[in-house]
Structure 1
Amino acid sequence: MLLALLAAASLALPADLAKAAHDYDRAQVTSDRAELERLIADDYVLHNSQGQAQDKASFIADQVAPGYRLEPFKIEQPVEKVMGDTAILGGVARAKGLAGGQPFDVKLRFIDVWRKRDGAWKVVFSQATRVP
């Protein structure tokens, strides 16, 4: 079902960007370090929902940490803007899972900025804000 929702939401996106975005979401759910390394730019910055700035290494470390698990999620109110080799993708998602072995359940409004570099789409910036 998640794949069908992503495919439907991505009809207007270039095929390679839609695939990269799908792979990025799946890599977060499966804690796939290699895919995260491939899809996230070396100069990546995340402004997370706790008001902290994280770099690529810190974000990936959190995603693959023992005791961390993210359940599959659905993106609501999708935002998809493509401007040449730059794209803004985002929306609202309910993130549920475990962090440090403790359950979490938050609704986030997020934005990912993608850039096409050397023929491949990479996430360069993300912002996540908790939705009350």
Structure 2
Amino acid sequence: MSVSRRVALVAAIAAPVLIRAVPGTAAGPDAAAVEQAVDALTQALLAADGPALDALVLDGLSYGHSSGQVQDKTAFVETLTSKRSAFPSITLSDRSVSVVGDDAVARHVFTGEVVSGGKTAPVHIGVMQVWHRDHGRWRLLARQAFKI
């Protein structure tokens, strides 16, 4: 195989991977459905909506905060619904989604405010979420935030 044919072959193989890896993109109906689930979770966080949070996350949830704290589903939902922590504002940017079968990885930058213990603090963190297709709907399995 000539060099030019090898380059063309490599480019043809790599193009779909490179296109999918571009931040802020989601390709196909599965990725769009994951984006919708991310948005629904954001709205449930803002509203501290217990039933919506319960429906959007799996029982085996591992929810990691940028502080290093990790919560299970019960602690995650209870912290929000009890109003011990609240989010008056959330903006997601630099979004990307990658779907592999019944699993998906969503990444974004989370900017907003959190009210905890009566004090308001700004939030600007990176987030990686792992979503799993559960009986036809996307539900959060794991989330890890990290300091930028």
- Shorter-chain TM-score range: 0.7 to 0.9
- Specify every segment of 5 or more residues in structure 1 that has no aligned partner in the other structure, as ranges: 1-8
Which residue of 1 is the match for residue 39 of structure 2?
22
Aligned length: 123
**Contact 1:13–1:80 (8 Å) recurs in 2:** no
Aligned equivalents of 2:45 and 2:56: distance in 1? 11
What's the CA shift for 1:13?
Answer: 5.1
1:58 and 2:56 aligned? no
- Is 1:89 the equivalent of 2:103? no
Normalised by the length of structure 2, the TM-score is: 0.75
TM-score (norm 1): 0.83
- What's the RMSD between the two structures over aligned residues? 1.8
Check conservation: 2:110, 2:126, Cα contact below 8 A. Answer: yes
- Give the 5 Å matches for 1:1-132: 12=27, 14=29, 15-131=32-148
Write 1 or 2 for the structure with the bigger share of helix.
2
Larger Rg: 2
2: CA distance, partners of 1:106 / 1:72: 10
SS of 2:90 mapped into structure 1: coil
Question: In the superposition, relative to structure 1, how do residues 86 and 62 fare at CA in structure 2: closer, same or farther (>3 Å)?
Answer: same
Unaligned runs of 5+ in 2: 1-23
